[in-house]
Amino acid sequence: MTIEPILKEVPFFSRLSDDVLKKLAGMGQTITMKENQVVYQEGDESESMFVILNGRVKIYKVDEQGYDLELTQMDAGDFFGELALLDSRPRSATVVCLTPCEFFIINQIAFMGLLLGSRAKLVYGVFADLTGKIRDTTEAYFKEELAKQMLQAEMKIERHRSLAQMVAGVAHELNTPLGIVNTAVDMIAKRVQSDALAAPLSGDKAAQAILADMQEAAHLASRNISRAHNLVQNFKKISVNQLTAVKETVDLTVLVQDILELFKINARQANLTIEVIDHLPEGNKVWIGYPGYLTQVLTNLLFNIEKYAYPDGNGGIIEIELSMAPERDPAHFMLTVQDYGRGIAPENLSQIFTPFFTTGRRQGGTGLGLAIVHNIVTDALKGKITVESDLNVGTTFTVIFPQIVAHDKESGR
Ligand SMILES: Nc1ncnc2c1ncn2[C@@H]1O[C@H](COP(=O)(O)OP(=O)(O)O)[C@@H](O)[C@H]1O
Ligand SMILES: [Mg+2]
């Protein structure tokens, strides 16, 4: 690979003459690194720039919680660390080899020497001025990128939270009956083994056969109850993520009913009455979409109603309406979720979908719920969500989404 054309791409090399560029290329050296080897670490003193001749690297930062946040990947023909040639401030990110790599390195001292010893002297002054600006821009870019990634990470967690909350609720409710059945079956299993039962039946072949069947059945029941018990225990720990991104063909009415079934425990505790009004024409209820995502959308809206529309615990009415969206080709569904609660103040209405906007920070609100809902509806379901609300009258969320969700190549969904 010839180095010069690549070097010309480096912003502050572009103004160097071919002559100087050639010298510059002559000054560098080639080094190789192994897979997983760290090229340099964030905070390291910088002394050289790198051109990738072969291989692939990852550039990342480590956030406050110690997680890696990938900023970008680069491969042959790309360069990085170029600011090092102009100043020695610490590296602003970490670079690691994803494959065995070969780099062409230009060292700062050599570069400075070249500049100072040539006509480029003048230009150097200009560079020095520019450096700070370039680096600040780079830093700003990194910061922005970092903020974006942290937001995404947080949204992911929040997405799990509402579903996990419900799963935990269901698991909790199941625990008690399962425990009782477990004890009962255990007792039966022990009793059918007892001599008190076996002895008097010793002469009766038919009764013995029945007893043997009962023993086997009791054993089977007891084994499977404890399996169910374990499943419930583990259920809470399962990552729900895998469940959500699966495209399925479902009956939308049934799906909505199923979701409400999951929410039932909460609804009961919060005295919420949920009414489903189904206007979907028979034979037109099939949705080819993502049940997991719709579950997240609906449960987020329901949890918000519980928390914000009817906060005093006295409960209220929630109406869920399903219909075909008017005048849409291809066909779209329309799902409205309406409450008759406190409503949203006009000055807040435009902000509710914004990440981190919440009026419930003190009650543990993160302000991510509706941002996620918005995200899912537009990104995954290829639809739209709108809201109408009046203080002390109530709030209506309307979700419109296509009956057949197109495949999304980019995200692989
Ligand atoms: N049904 C509703 N009735 C009244 N206010 C609501 C309703 N749904 C959402 N809100 C308002 O929208 C804000 C943002 O909601 P959300 O993004 O889910 O964040 P969080 O639930 O963490 O507060 C809430 O803090 C609340 O003020
Ligand atoms: Mg919420």
For the domain covering 3-119, report its CATH number: 2.60.120.10
Q: What ligand has the least distance to the C-alpha of 337?
A: 1
CA distance 286 to 398: 19
For residue 390, the ligand closest to its alpha carbon is 1
d(CA 47, CA 56): 21
Pocket test for ligand 1, best of 351, 370, 391, 392 (most atoms within 8 A of CB): 370
Which pLDDT score, from 0 to 100, does residue 394 have?
A: 97
Whole-prediction pTM value?
Answer: 0.54
What sign does the dihedral 367-370-373-378 (CA atoms) show?
Answer: negative
Ligand 1 pocket list (CB less than 6 A) = 304-305, 308-309, 339, 341-344, 348, 352, 357-360, 365-371, 395
Which pLDDT score, from 0 to 100, does residue 321 have? 98
3-class DSSP state of 58: strand
Q: 């700070």: which residue's tokens?
A: 132
Ranges of the chain with pLDDT below 50: 120-122, 126, 129, 236-242, 409-413
Among protein residues, the one whose CA lies closest to atom 25 of ligand 1: 358
Task: Note whether 51 and 103 are within 8 A (CB).
Answer: yes
Per-residue pLDDT tens digits for 35-58: 999 999 988 887 888 989 899 999
Task: State how far the Cα of 49 lies from the Cα of 382, in Å rounded to an integer.
Answer: 43
Architecture field, domain 245-402: 2-Layer Sandwich (3.30)
Domain boundaries, the chain: 3-119, 162-235, 245-402
| Element holding 104 (H helix, E strand) | strand 101-107
In the sheet with 56-62, reading across from the earlier edge strand, the strands are 38-40, 94-97, 56-62, 68-75
Given this model, what pLDDT does residue 238 score? 43
Q: How far, in Å, CA of 291 to CA of 289, rounded?
A: 6
| Ligand 1 atom nearest residue 158's Cα | 22
- Rounded distance from Cα 53 to ligand 1 centre (Å): 52
